[in-house]
């Protein structure tokens, strides 16, 4: 297939291009680094000529510095996706794989011993300041047990970036219904690996820890380090995109719909685990747990990726310790 890859020069997009070429496909790059704007309809119309499918990775990522970033996130992630989908509709391109995110869920799934599945509200500044990081049952106030989140969980975005990622999915779902197209959203977990962007206020936690270690400083771990996450290697994410593109290309999924797939390693780790693994791999100072917090962060979010494994045959291959060692080696 001839596949347009937006964000093709980025951390994940460049790995997808490599995976598609290795699979015998013809990826066509589209990236702001090459002077191509995802909001430029004329540029999109030209890029879509002769294309069979689109792999949409272009986005402004990360939590952002403050609410002043909201217009940029909305313009790039929301309007940019709308322009792309409109151009696809006009060009007759009916196959889409979207870079989704687990941030659309907000807090993860929690179980109360007395009340079953519950959805805690946003954590308060007062609780976080006091070091009360774990969400509690809104009915009885007792501690909650975190569980894996399935794709059918309700969306509850907790920051501007999360809202724009949900908007992308909703736009893609409407596009699919309107055009009879087939869309997949791969809801990525915390992606890491060689080429991870660093030294930017929009970087993820792995990048921030790595940057500190390369400066000879201890990683500063917020809260108590017990935040549960799923760290998935960028090559595994690229492989998931290749598998999803093969499925939409073979018309193996229902047209007129968007299907979401959680895309994680399947292994739950804590932020403290990751900081420690990176410190070991870099031979640097041990992490320092600071108790600091960011109000937009969620406590635990780990999702069940069985649907992607069972329906499309994808499985994460890169071991956590080996992946962290590779990340440190390529960054040094």
CA-CA-CA-CA dihedral for 173, 63, 239, 20, to nearest 10:
80
| Residue 241 domain-assigned (yes or no) | yes
E strands within 211-317?
220-221, 228-229, 231-233, 257-263, 269-270, 288-289
Residue 304 maps to a domain: yes
Instruction: Write the pLDDT tens digit of every residue in 113-122.
Output: 999 999 888 8
Q: What local confidence, expressed as pLDDT, does residue 63 receive?
A: 66
Nearest of 222, 248, 256 to residue 51 by alpha carbon: 248
Asked whether residue 93 is assigned to any structural domain, the reply reads yes
pLDDT of residue 198: 77
Domain residues for the domain of 35 are 2-108+149-330
Q: Which helix (H) or strand (E) holds 100?
A: strand 95-101
pLDDT < 50 regions, the chain: none
141 found inside a domain: no
Cβ neighbours of residue 132 closer than 8 Å, sequence gap 6 or more: none
Structural domain contains residue 127: no
290 is a domain residue? yes
Number of structural domains the chain divides into: 1
126 vs 78: CA distance, rounded Å:
33
Q: What is the pLDDT of residue 319?
A: 95
- How far apart, in whole angstroms, are the C-alpha atoms of residue 246 and residue 301? 28
Measured CA to CA, the distance from residue 252 to residue 244 in angstroms comes to: 10
- pLDDT confidence of residue 200: 64
Structure tokens at 234: 């960028």
CATH number at residue 274: 3.40.50.720
Work out whether the CA dihedral 39, 75, 175, 312 comes out positive or negative: positive
Does this model's pTM top 0.75? yes
| Residue-by-residue DSSP string for 29-80 | EE-GGGT--TT-HHHHHHHTTT-SEEEE-----S--SSGGGHHHHIIIIIIH
Instruction: Please give the Cα distance from 181 to 174 (Å, whole number).
Output: 10
The single residue listed with the structure tokens 């992946």 is 323
104 domain-assigned? yes
Q: Residue 29 pairs with which residues in a beta bridge?
A: 5
Whether residue 95 lies inside any domain: the answer is: yes
């Amino acid at each position: 297939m001839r596949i347009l890859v937006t964000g093709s020069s980025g951390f994940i997009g460049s790995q997808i291009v490599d995976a598609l070429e290795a699979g015998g496909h013809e990826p066509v790059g589209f990236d702001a680094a090459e002077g191509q704007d995802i909001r430029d309809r004329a540029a999109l119309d030209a890029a879509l000529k002769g294309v069979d499918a689109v792999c949409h990775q272009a986005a402004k990522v990360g939590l952002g510095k403050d609410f002043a970033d909201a217009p940029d996130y909305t313009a790039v992630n929301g309007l940019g996706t709308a322009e792309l989908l409109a151009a696809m509709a006009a060009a007759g391109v009916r196959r889409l794989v979207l870079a989704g995110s687990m941030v659309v869920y907000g807090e993860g799934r929690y179980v109360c011993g007395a009340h079953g599945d519950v959805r805690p509200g946003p954590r308060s500044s007062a609780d976080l300041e006091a070091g009360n990081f774990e969400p509690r049952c809104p009915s009885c106030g007792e501690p909650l047990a975190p569980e894996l989140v399935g794709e059918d969980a309700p969306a509850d975005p907790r920051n501007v970036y999360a809202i724009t990622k949900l908007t992308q999915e909703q736009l893609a779902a409407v596009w699919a219904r309107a055009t009879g197209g087939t869309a997949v959203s791969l809801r990525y977990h915390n992606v890491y690996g060689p080429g991870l962007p660093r030294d930017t206020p929009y970087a993820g936690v792995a990048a921030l820890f790595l940057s500190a270690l390369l400066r000879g400083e201890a990683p500063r771990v917020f809260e108590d380090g017990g935040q549960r996450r799923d760290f998935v290697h960028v090559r595994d994410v690229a492989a998931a995109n290749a598998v999803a593109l093969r499925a939409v290309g073979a018309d193996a999924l229902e047209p007129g719909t968007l299907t979401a797939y959680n895309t994680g390693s399947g292994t739950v780790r804590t932020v403290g685990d990751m900081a420690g693994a990176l410190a070991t791999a870099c031979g640097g100072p041990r992490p320092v747990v600071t108790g600091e917090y960011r109000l937009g962060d969620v406590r635990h979010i780990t999702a069940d990726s069985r649907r992607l494994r069972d329906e499309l045959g994808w499985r994460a291959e890169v071991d956590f310790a080996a992946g962290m060692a590779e990340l440190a080696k390529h960054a040094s």
